[in-house]
Amino acid sequence: MRSPPANLIPEAVRAALAEGWGLRAASMDYVPQGAGSYHWKLTAEDGRSYFVTVDDLDCKDWIGTIRDSVFDGLGRAFSTAAALRDEAGLEFVVAPIGARDGELLRRLDDQYSLSVFRYLPGRSYGFGPYPDARLRGQALEMIAALHRATPDVRDGAPRHVLSFGGREDLNAFLIDKDRLWDGGPFSGYARELLAARAGDLTRLVAGFDRLAERTAPARADLVITHGEPHPGNIMSVDGRLVLVDWDTAGLGPPERDVSLIATDDEDIDRYQKATGRELDPAVITLYRLRWYLDDLASAIRLFRNRHQDTPGTRMWRDSLTPQLQQLSDWSAVLSDQQ
């Protein structure tokens, strides 16, 4: 998120940090990164630095649509990350720091929750494809180690449900594509672009559902997955790689993670040798398509509802045309899966 939410009072964050973690801020600087979460770098009075995250419980529909259930699900994901770090011994897992009462997550108010992490000075990687084979290989090694740790967390981990964010808004749009949008400055522009490709979108969503149904047996053997191990969630710290943002952690098929890393058969073979697990190419395609539809549906949700002209919404607006240009390629991919 490029800017903090207008309805969140900074003093409330400071008070919760002091009460929950005993952290009194000498300074708090907003960090304009991430989606669905808001971040600050906190320098405490003792000079130590922390990474403070506020999660919007209305923006995590892969967990649920009711704030209380999202809060509970987020807590289970963070507890799973902590168990992977503390019990399974996976040092690359960046899990939250417990508050004084041991809780990893605290409620700020009805809409927002608060968590605290160690501040890690190091190199971050941008969102998108992995920049080189070496980093991709290291990421696959981390994911293989994560998947092998499934027995340590199987009983307490949440279960990933295959879906994509914004699907309700996407369905509503496809049912009534001629309805005008007036939620903000980019509503009309976005609706016109999307309406011109509504038929392609309808066919792609139907293809996603067919592929999900066909691959259900192949997706039955679950491992603990991170969910979003793209380069934007990888950091190099003191010469080693760590994996951040565990709010999507859950039991799912291994292809959920591998689909975001592997680019060729060599990568697939590397993972299979490290884990002894065979991957299904159709499930990899399914999860890559899920990621693509998540982006498109999230844009629909943003622009058909109330929004403002901000750096974040302009970024979504500018990415919409390139995203829609991929529709034909995805239709061809699905045809090959028939």
Cross-strand partners of 27: 43
CA-wise closest residue to 277 among 260, 291, 257, 250: 257
Per-residue confidence (pLDDT) for residue 5, from 0 to 100? 78
CA distances from 136 to 52, 69, 108, 241, 267 (A): 28, 35, 37, 11, 8
What domains appear along the chain, each with residue ranges and CATH number?
Answer: 1-119 (3.30.200.20), 122-338 (3.90.1200.10)
Residues 316 and 299 sit within 8 Å (Cβ to Cβ): yes
Per-residue confidence (pLDDT) for residue 128, from 0 to 100? 85
Per-residue confidence (pLDDT) for residue 246, from 0 to 100? 96
The span from the CA of 64 to the CA of 67, in Å, is 8
CA neighbours closer than 13 Å in the CB half-sphere of residue 149: 28
Q: Which helix (H) or strand (E) holds 168?
A: helix 167-175
Per-residue confidence (pLDDT) for residue 18, from 0 to 100? 96
Per-residue confidence (pLDDT) for residue 147, from 0 to 100? 98
Coil, helix or strand for 57?
A: coil
**Mean pLDDT (10-residue bins), the chain, 338 residues:** 76 94 93 82 95 93 91 97 97 97 95 95 87 94 98 95 91 94 96 96 96 96 97 93 96 98 95 96 96 95 93 92 94 80
